[in-house]
């Protein structure tokens, strides 16, 4: 029986191609198989980095994870090296990959990570909010009831919390938060980090909502919210 290949989980830039590590570049060139969410985005990354690869591209996303993971593990067991990336940032962090790493570990395949950009940590470090203890929530549930319950839980915790959002949905989330916390709760909005139109908005929730009134935000955003401090209270639950 031959040696199995290695599964490499690699972070890609969240906007600025300059954030691609030297190890990521090598891995893109050397992999036998690259699993990605979108082959056009992979091709764009390769172009931005002026790289060519002979790797076979495999589409691996939320919808086909369960079907693709065992196939990729077969390739690994056959001795092929598989590189997992996503459209931007760190795989598995609100992105596909969990099914693959689980299958690979179960098959006793070697796994390694090439760490790098992730929007969550990038936003936390810029927020000016306590970074020592934090909760990463990822995307909130879509259904209104579940969202409100989750937001209330998060807002009642003393740790800073991080939420992934679409710019379209951000005003709604801020409004929902305003129904739960006092207007002086500090928030940070990181928009389009490392990109040309990067924007950083910091302040008490009430002021931030007022300053965004009438604006249509575009692009990707991370919302970072101060935890519950001793001097603060949640608003009473009206439902």
- Residues interacting with ligand SAM, by CB under 6 A? 14-15, 86, 88-90, 93-95, 118-120, 164-166, 190-195, 220-222
Residue in this structure with the two tokens 């070697």, named with its chain if needed? 110
* Strands 186-191 and 199-204, bridge-based pairing: antiparallel
Closest listed residue to residue 228, CA positions, set 147, 161, 175: 161
Cα 239 to chain centroid, rounded = 31
Residue 237 CB, nearest approach to ligand SAM (Å): 27
Residue pair 129/121 in contact (Cβ under 8 Å)? The answer is: no
- Residue placing its CB nearer to ligand SAM in the complex, 107 or 121: 121
Give the CA radius of gyration of the chain: 20
Q: CA–CA separation, 225 vs 227, rounded Å?
A: 6
- Residue placing its CB nearer to ligand SAM in the complex, 119 or 187: 119
Residue 134 CB, nearest approach to ligand SAM (Å): 15
- Residue placing its CB nearer to ligand SAM in the complex, 166 or 237: 166
Q: CA–CA separation, 147 vs 181, rounded Å?
A: 14
- Residue placing its CB nearer to ligand SAM in the complex, 52 or 218: 218
Residue 225 CB, nearest approach to ligand SAM (Å): 14
Residue 222 CB, nearest approach to ligand SAM (Å): 4
Nearest residue relative to ligand SAM (C-beta) = 89
């Amino acid at each position: 029986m031959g040696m199995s290949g290695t599964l490499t989980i690699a972070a890609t830039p969240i906007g600025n191609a300059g954030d691609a590590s030297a190890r990521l570049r090598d891995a893109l060139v050397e992999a036998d198989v690259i699993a990605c969410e979108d082959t056009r985005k992979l091709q764009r990354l390769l172009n931005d980095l002026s790289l060519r690869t002979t790797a076979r591209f495999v589409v691996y996303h939320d919808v086909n994870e369960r079907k693709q993971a065992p196939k990729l593990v077969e390739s690994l067991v056959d001795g092929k090296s598989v590189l997992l990336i996503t459209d931007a940032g760190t795989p598995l962090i609100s992105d596909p990959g969990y099914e693959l790493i689980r299958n690979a570990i179960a098959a006793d395949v070697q796994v390694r990570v090439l760490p790098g950009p992730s929007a969550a940590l990038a936003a936390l470090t810029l927020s000016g909010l306590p970074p020592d203890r934090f909760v990463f929530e990822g995307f909130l549930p879509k259904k209104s009831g579940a969202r409100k319950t989750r937001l209330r839980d998060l807002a009642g915790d003393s740790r800073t919390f991080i939420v992934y959002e679409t710019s379209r949905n951000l005003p709604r989330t801020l409004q929902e938060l305003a129904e739960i916390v006092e207007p002086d709760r500090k928030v940070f909005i990181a928009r389009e980090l490392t990109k040309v139109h990067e924007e950083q908005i910091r302040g008490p929730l009430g002021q931030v909502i007022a300053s965004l009134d009438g604006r249509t935000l575009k692009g990707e955003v991370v919302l970072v919210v101060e935890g519950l401090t001793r001097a603060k209270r949640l608003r009473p639950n009206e439902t």
